[in-house]
Amino acid sequence: MFSPPELRQDPVTGRWVIISPERQKRPQDLHVTPAKARSRDDCPFCPGHEAMTPPEIMTLVGTALQAGPNRWDVRVVPNMFPALRMDGALAVGAHEVIVESPDHDASLASLSVAQLTMVLAAWRERIVALSRDARLRYIQLFKNHGASGGATLEHPHSQIIALPFVPDLVRAEIDGARRHFAVKERCVFCDIIHDEIRDGRRLIEENVDVVALAPYAPRFAFETWILPKRHGSRFEEAERGEYQGLARLLKSVLRRLDRALETPPYNLIIHTSPFSEDVSDIYHWHLEIMPKLTRVAGFEWGTGFYINPTSPKEAARVLRAVAV
């Protein structure tokens, strides 16, 4: 009934888009306001409703992988309305959902550090598993939180879209990192971490493994990056202690944002290395959290530039001052 998803490139700029008609019923069904949040009773991600989703790809119980659907702490399922599919003729890819907790009312900020560590383990497992498919080049892991953040279901979840090529923004980061390395023989992200910790004004929080900072040129008010202090180009190759440190810091940073900005909608993304490229010396995996406090509008769509009303120094100062 629907055309399959299709990858298209703009003939002038080369910009990629995914035309994905399966994600739409009729044009009239497109709406700015997302579908009304479902109650627990008809939430497809709640325990007992496993039959409302396609069969699970994996579940985690405690720290153990388990096949059965009956009891789970984290559950990964195919997206019901995939932007890309592995059997796509014109656009091979994958689209998965990570249900981050059995608790409908939880949020990433409210999960225990142990539960959050399981979510990170699920992210890592799926990246490793998908990296084995030679048709795929990159995984974009992302989370849309809150209606204005683009979430259409309120039960806490994140998503993975696996792509047959490397996204423009990751390419731009790798190109920039390569230029820096050519001149300095150092990772640009390692230099940023070193400089920001020393300077302190844009520092939000750190522990022995990871650091949270407000980047120098943020697109969005209160944009926050979390980076591992130890150089590493792949999120999925971090060490056990780093995931635990990340879980602790991520929880703390999200609580700071919730308290300072009254539980804002946000998008969270991971940037890691493409599967089939060795950028291990120059690239540095990281998380980006983008609260959605202002609207991206005509100026941004026309220029590709962003107007940000909050300086990163001020954002960091506000977030540091929150008691967590």
Query: Among residues 175 and 199, whose Cβ is nearest to its own copies?
Result: 175
Distances (CA, A) of 64 to 17, 71, 73, 112, 120: 38, 12, 10, 17, 13
Contact 161, 88 (CB under 8 A): no
- Least CB distance from residue 161 to its own copies, whole Å? 6
Judged on CB neighbours under 10 Å (0-12, 13-18, 19+), 146 is: middle
Contact 52, 62 (CB under 8 A): no
**Is residue 36 within the footprint of its own copies (CB under 8 A)?**
no
Stretch that binds its own copies, among 124-132, 210-218, 241-249, 273-281 (CB under 8 A): 210-218
Q: How many CB atoms lie within 10 A of CB 302?
A: 8
Task: Map the footprint of its own copies across residues 141-180, applying CB under 8 A.
Answer: 141-144, 148-151, 159, 161, 163, 167-170, 172-173, 175-177, 180
Task: Map the footprint of its own copies across residues 91-130, applying CB under 8 A.
Answer: none
Stretch that binds its own copies, among 35-43, 50-58, 68-76, 269-277 (CB under 8 A): 269-277
Give the chain's length: 324
- Least CB distance from residue 185 to its own copies, whole Å? 16
**Is residue 235 within the footprint of its own copies (CB under 8 A)?**
no
Query: Among residues 46 and 83, whose Cβ is nearest to its own copies?
Result: 83
Burial string for 197-230 (b: 16+ CB within 10 Å, else e) reads eeeeebbbbbeebbbbbbbeebebbbbbbbbbbe
- Least CB distance from residue 65 to its own copies, whole Å? 26
Helix (H) or strand (E) holding 226: strand 224-228
- Least CB distance from residue 271 to its own copies, whole Å? 7
Written as one letter, the residue type at 97 is V
- In order, the DSSP letters of 18-44 are EE-GGG-S-GGG--SSPPPPPPGGG-T
- Can you tell me whether residue 98 is helix, strand or coil? strand
**Is residue 37 within the footprint of its own copies (CB under 8 A)?**
no
Binding its own copies by CB under 8 A: which of 3, 39, 63, 70? 3
**Is residue 216 within the footprint of its own copies (CB under 8 A)?**
yes
- Least CB distance from residue 36 to its own copies, whole Å? 15
Distances (CA, A) of 181 to 245, 270, 282: 27, 22, 6
Spot the catalytic one: 157, 180, 284, 286. Answer: 157
Indicate if 157 belongs to the active site. yes
Which phi and psi (to 5°) does residue 270 adopt?
A: -110, 135
In whole angstroms, give the CA distance from residue 6 to residue 297. 26
Structure tokens at 203: 């520092």
In whole angstroms, give the CA distance from residue 324 to residue 322. 6
**Is residue 55 within the footprint of its own copies (CB under 8 A)?**
no
Binding its own copies by CB under 8 A: which of 102, 228, 232, 264? 264
Task: Map the footprint of its own copies across residues 178-207, applying CB under 8 A.
Answer: 180, 188-189, 192
Task: Map the footprint of its own copies across residues 10-29, applying CB under 8 A.
Answer: 10-21, 23-24, 27-28
**Is residue 90 within the footprint of its own copies (CB under 8 A)?**
no
Query: Among residues 72 and 163, whose Cβ is nearest to its own copies?
Result: 163
Binding its own copies by CB under 8 A: which of 61, 129, 260, 322? 260
Task: Map the footprint of its own copies across residues 272-311, applying CB under 8 A.
Answer: 288, 290, 292-299, 301-311
Catalytic residues, by residue number, are: 157
